[in-house]
A and B are shown apart, each in its own frame.
Chain A
Amino acid sequence: MLIRRQTDIPFDQDPAGRLLPWIVAIMIYLSGVAIAGAIALNGLVSTWSSGLSGALTIQIPAGPDSPHAQQQAGAVLALVRKAPGVEQARRLPRQDMLRLLRPWLGEDAGAGDLPLPILIEVHAAPDAAIDTAALSAKVAAAAPGAVTENHARWAGPLIGLARSIWLVALLVVALIGLATVITVVFATRTGLRIHRRVIGLLHLIGAHDRYIARQFERQALWLSLQGAIIGIVFAIGTVFGIADLAGKIELEPAAGAIFTPVQWAIFACVPLVAALVALLTARITVLRTLRRMT
């Protein structure tokens, strides 16, 4: 036990009680990291999917083998801007393309004369759809060898993958919760066996089962809350650490921006929920066991 409290039952003599905060701390740490991962993934996927839906990229080959690439790009840009449903079309500057290549090629990405293709970004107007097949045919006629890529075709599998990972994370949290409940049941039953004499005396003095259960549930609440706070603090530290590492490769936003305030509130509630689950588990275990004992 980390901090001691005065109770009728001498809980500080329980070996199970001494271990409970640390077991709960580990459980809550794992739950916290799983929840944080799921929330972060969800946010990332929704950012990606909103960016992908209604977006097209037209790739026109450039380099020594394509001497007319610049003229073709101008023609494609003109016809795309006239196409129904298109809100914006722009040629991606070379600097932007080099920035995208930098994580793979390093700072020297722009040093040589890389034969980079010409990329044209196309965005649909809100609530409008672009006829990709028709546009693709027009582009191919204006610039033979050009490829029109509809980003929306990636969105479906990506959302499906994200949902699967989200469900797995929920399953992990549920299993960790179940393991916590089993741990509290074990610790409570051990406590009931160890303190059989004191419980018998309390009964003889006139204590109701609820009075005895209250002692155990407060103890479970106290120990679990201590462990849960330790676990969630380490989980938050881990989340910030991972966010910081992810920020360095421009994969994710800074840690503070991973969660919305509501999500932070949910995250902060994890220790309270864990403590409440421990309290109810201890109460039910004591009441059921005492009913069987007498």
Chain B
Amino acid sequence: MRTDLFDGEKPVVRFDQVGMRYGAGDEVLRDIAFSLEPGSFHFLTGESGAGKSTLMRLIYLSLRPTRGLVHLFGRDVATLPRDKVPAMRRRIGVVYQDFQLLDHMTAIDNVALPLRVAGARGPDVKKHVSELLRWVGLGERLGAKPPTLSGGEQQRVAIARAVINQPDLLLADEPTGNVDDNIGVRLIQLFEELNRMGTTVIIATHNFGLVDRFRYPRLDLEDGALRIIRGQRPPC
């Protein structure tokens, strides 16, 4: 059965009866079916081991499903030619749970990486990146390398890197896990700002305080199955 949250011609994300297993093990995701319209905002919730990270990895093209179809921006990813994958990935910003920062690069170079990969160069890039890092409270740590940053600072660098090129789809895996509530709220507000500009946002979190406070719809995973819990505020 497929659960459509919204009507629309081309959902940003659409899963059709997706199943996923690692090797010969049991399915960690079963019959996942949903679609997310452009400009929507969702929390992804579930216990540890429920399959949140696997679902995120399927969306950001780090994994291919064992069965079923995954569509991104209206394209079936299984039939996407290899040389078209990078362009699709550039439309997706990801905040990884373990940050995935490059330790040999400064904060500013880490955040500029998606722009560099997309071919952007010049002083404007540095200015733009510096402004964003100041906005997330790291104006004094532009030249610091990740090993010298605290967990919270690393997380903010990771967030800045994910949003620097204003992606069409933002995925954040526990983005508030290492920051206090005030910064956590501020980060969600940053995601909301992006969402208002048209970015579709999915935030995987354990922080039910934030989920309750912002009241966006939830994709809830339990034992590999997906359940939709509608929010109390309409998606943008």
Contacts and interface: CB of A to CB of B under 8 A. Distances in A.
A binds B: yes
Interface of A: 6, 8, 10, 12-13, 197-198, 201-208, 211, 291, 294
* Secondary structure type dominating chain A contacts: helix
Contact of B60 (A204, A207, A294): A204
Interface stretch (B113-121, B204-212, B215-223): B113-121
Given A10-B103, A204-B62, 19 more contacts: A6-B109, A10-B102, A10-B104, A197-B100, A198-B102, A201-B100, A203-B86, A203-B89, A204-B61, A205-B114, A205-B117, A206-B87, A206-B89, A206-B90, A206-B114, A207-B86, A208-B83, A208-B86, A291-B82
B94 interface: yes
Contacts, number: 42
Contact of B117 (A10, A12, A197, A202): A202
A41 to B, nearest CB: 49
Contact of A207 (B62, B83, B117): B117
A115 B62 CA distance: 94
Interface centre among B61, B116, B117 (most CB of A within 10 A): B117
Contacts of A294: 82
B89 A205 contact: yes
A8 B90 contact: no
B91 to A, nearest CB: 8
A205 to B, nearest CB: 5
Interface residues of B, number: 21
B63 to A, nearest CB: 11
Interface string B37-74: 00000000000000000000000111000000000000
Nearest to A12: B104
Among all A-B residue pairs, the 7 with the closest Cβ atoms: A206-B90, A10-B104, A206-B89, A207-B117, A206-B86, A208-B86, A205-B114
B89 to A, nearest CB: 4
A232 to B, nearest CB: 31
A8 B113 contact: yes
Contacts of B94: 204
Nearest to B106: A6
Contacts of B86: 203, 206-208
Contacts of B61: 204
Contacts of A12: 104
A203 B100 CA distance: 13
Nearest to B161: A205
A203 B89 CA distance: 8
Interface in B9-24: none
Contacts of B89: 203-206
